[in-house]
Amino acid sequence: MNVDVLVLGGGLAGLSAAYHLGLRGAASRLVVEAKPRVGGTAGSVTKGAYTFDYTGHLLHLHDEYGKGLILDLLKDNVAAHERKAWIWSQKTYTRYPFQANVKGLPREAVVDCLAGFLETVHRPRPLAKDPDFLSWSRATFGDGITRRFMRPYNEKLWRTPLAKLTTEWQGRFVPKPSPSEVVYGALAEQNALFGYNASFRYPVRGGIQALPDALAERLEPGVVRVESPVTAVDLREKVAQVRGIGEVRYQRLVNTLPLNVFLDLATPLPADVKAAKKTSGGIRFGT
């Protein structure tokens, strides 16, 4: 088989690449997916009357083009929601995020959190250029909020000491309320919503699997091949071996497989990539 573009992986990234390259005139595209269904980690599995997503994929549609495309793909199979999140600590529930909603905690905890936060406002701590998460949290939210929530929650979530975590990732994911919002949330029930995920959309039927399925349907018949794992890629000759298909020659290659998986399949690799691949610290792989 000969194609203009070969896409490895039928998750949202691979399907979107094939769809948009088609809009831009790519003559022929082939998406190969090892699993029986498209979607990758944005897929779902149904057990009896229940549907389970592989991981959380709520739709936060802030980009106008992406919003238009996704709503057009899902059509009537999507609903809008407001986040309803609560935190259980010190034998009570408080609203999320903790740093803006300490009312309801024991009095000494409220005083501790509020005083620590206001200290960061009136006597800010100096921070290094690239602070660790623990130092950043203390300087941003104060010792009380850090000790009572930020540290135990995030160390439970990330399974590593906060002093070993960097902070460039957190951005929109850890909202910082204003001083007035923190004070209000210590004295009264606060209905304000914080953070990028305060509202979201989600399919009505079929779990998040509905989205990759709808995107795959936009592609021409034969573009997507499931149960077709890649077994080898010759980068020099531009040839991939695909189980169930055989040899696929391509002009351009789009890889959406995990980097470590792709490097195990690809040859020849540059010497520096080979060296980095053999060392634990040379290339860091995500999940």
Q: Give the pLDDT confidence of 100-119 residue by residue, as tens digits.
A: 999 999 999 999 999 999 99
- Asked if the model's pLDDT at residue 286 lies above 60, the reply is no
Instruction: Label residue 240 left, alpha or beta by phi (over 0 means left) and psi (-120 to 50 means alpha).
Output: beta
CATH of domain 86-196: 1.10.3110
Residue percentage of the chain with pLDDT more than 70: 97
- Report pLDDT for 178: 92
pLDDT digits (tens, 9 = 90+) for 19-72: 999 999 998 999 999 999 999 999 999 999 999 999 888 999 989 999 999 999
**Per-residue confidence band for 276, with pLDDT thresholds at 50, 70 and 90:** confident
- Report pLDDT for 27: 84
Give the residue range(s) of CATH 1.10.3110 domains in the chain. 86-196
- Asked if the model's pLDDT at residue 282 lies above 80, the reply is no
| Cα distances (Å, whole numbers) of residue 10 to 7, 13, 19, 34, 283 | 8, 7, 11, 8, 24
CATH 3.50.50.60 is held by the domain 2-81+205-256: yes
- Report pLDDT for 101: 95
Q: Comparing 3-7, 10-14, 18-22, 198-202, which segment has the lowest mean pLDDT?
A: 198-202
- Report pLDDT for 249: 98
- Report pLDDT for 280: 47
Give the residue range(s) of CATH 3.50.50.60 domains in the chain. 2-81+205-256
Q: Residue 256 and residue 287: Cα distance in Å, rounded?
A: 13
Angle, nearest 10°, between helix axes 210-217 and 64-74?
90
